[in-house]
Amino acid sequence: MIPFMDLNLFSRNILCFIYLITCFFFIVNALLSLGQKRVKDAIISSIFCIFSYIILNGIKEMNLKKNEAIFSFFNQIPVFVYVLVVIILFITNIIIIIRNFRWNYKNINQLAYKEAFDMLPAGLCYYKDDGVLILKNHMMNEIAYNITNKLLLNGIEFYDKIKDKSIYELNDMVIKFRFNEFMVDGIHVNEIIADDITELYAKTKELQKLDLETKSANLRMKQYGKNIEENIKRQERLDSKVKIHDEFNKLLLSSLNASKEEDKIKILESFQNNILVLSNDTENEAAANTLSDISVLAKLIGLEFVFVGNIKNYTEEELVLFVKSTKEIMVNSKKHGNANRIEIRISEDEKNRYIEFINDGNLPSSFVPSGGLKVIEDRVSSLNGIVEYNTKDVFKIKITLRKE
């Protein structure tokens, strides 16, 4: 058996260093076990730490040779015992370290809570009513520094700085603040949450831009549609004028050659049937929203005009639609159906307004809306309405308009 002092100086120093490292790890394991509230492992680590320190102190005394009794006691212990003991201590250290890691993996301690809290993608800050901070994470620290150019040390001061503005655009992100209050164990706690809405904010801005572009395009399309409608109307009026002027020329020639009273009456009716079309083109727009001019025009072409209902609640757009549609339908009923009477019925319910045109003209054998009626359909459609036709017993046109 080789005594310890028979080893060379390098070997003794290596063994001494191993005992020192072992003692240090026992101290670390004892502290970790206490933090995890595992008292048993903490006591074991402390005992082995003391044991390692005693051996380490004995080795030191042997090297110094100051105390003969201590030197004799430790020197008589064979070297293999020192090696065996340090191996046992090392294995014990490994076992306790593994137990500590397993406990951390299976359990949540305060350190784990703090680590998870700091890794959250949102900034969080909790403080008391006097401004003393209870808890804050790294992201909130960074946000507070970017806004105030100083560390977050007082909750009230930071709240006063951001309370009037909920959204902040920082260097490379957009932050939205939320504020809450609640009680914890009888203590009033204030909460500040900073959400990273960078992606959402960018998408919102993009949608707003697209919305403005869409509205602008809709306005252009609406104006384009109005221009097309006006051009169609002008073309139809021009065509009607040409036809009417031709008919006027024919009627004038016929009136010169008419000798019988019946022929003169028929010529007069033909004149009346065409006067309304010309009056539509020369109507006064300022008076288009009154019923009086409609009544006058009806009498002018020989139509009995009956109106039932009230249009005082109609909007300006609905009133313009009503007047223009009425005149257009009066033209068609007299010109194509040779009607003598037209009745207009106005009604409404909670959701819709209804306009019905009924005339006693000749019923068509086959009916397809065209010309002025198609223009009416387009106008009604622009107000989210529909047009229905009935040609069974009487010729009836029904316009349904949705209320705003």
Instruction: Output the domain CATH number for residue 366.
Output: 3.30.565.10
- Residues of the chain under the 50 pLDDT cut: 276-277, 280-289
For residue 271, what pLDDT is reported? 62
Residues 392 and 302 in one domain: yes
Query: Within a domain: residue 365?
Result: yes
Residues 364 and 300 in one domain: yes
For residue 286, what pLDDT is reported? 35
Query: Within a domain: residue 188?
Result: yes
For residue 4, what pLDDT is reported? 62
In DSSP notation, 368-403 reads ---THHHHHHHHHHHTT-EEEEE-SSSEEEEEEEE-
For residue 288, what pLDDT is reported? 39
For residue 251, what pLDDT is reported? 63
For residue 140, what pLDDT is reported? 92
Residues 124 and 18 in one domain: no
Residues 14 and 53 in one domain: yes
Query: Within a domain: residue 90?
Result: yes
Residue 150: burial class (beta carbons within 10 Å; 0-12, 13-18, 19+)? exposed
- 167-169 and 174-184: which strand pairing? antiparallel
For residue 399, what pLDDT is reported? 93
Q: Which residue has the tokens 């397809």?
A: 368
Residues 264 and 295 in one domain: no
Residues 298 and 382 in one domain: yes
Residue 51: burial class (beta carbons within 10 Å; 0-12, 13-18, 19+)? middle
Residues 19 and 102 in one domain: yes
Write down which residue in 256, 274, 292 finishes a domain: 274
Query: Within a domain: residue 262?
Result: yes
Residues 232 and 252 in one domain: yes
Residues 124 and 156 in one domain: yes
| Domain count of the fold of the chain | 4
Residues 212 and 294 in one domain: no
DSSP H or E run through 29? helix 9-35
For residue 158, what pLDDT is reported? 92
Question: For residue 382, which of 364, 352, 361, 402 has the smallest C-alpha distance?
Answer: 402
Question: What's the CATH number where 150 sits?
Answer: 3.30.450
Residues 359 and 382 in one domain: yes
For residue 84, what pLDDT is reported? 87
Query: Within a domain: residue 131?
Result: yes
For residue 265, what pLDDT is reported? 64
Query: Within a domain: residue 112?
Result: no
Write down which residue in 196, 222, 250 finishes a domain: 196
Please give the distance of CA 39 from its chain centroid, rounded to a whole number: 54
Structural domain range at position 346? 283-404
Residues 52 and 12 in one domain: yes
Write down which residue in 57, 83, 107 finishes a domain: 107
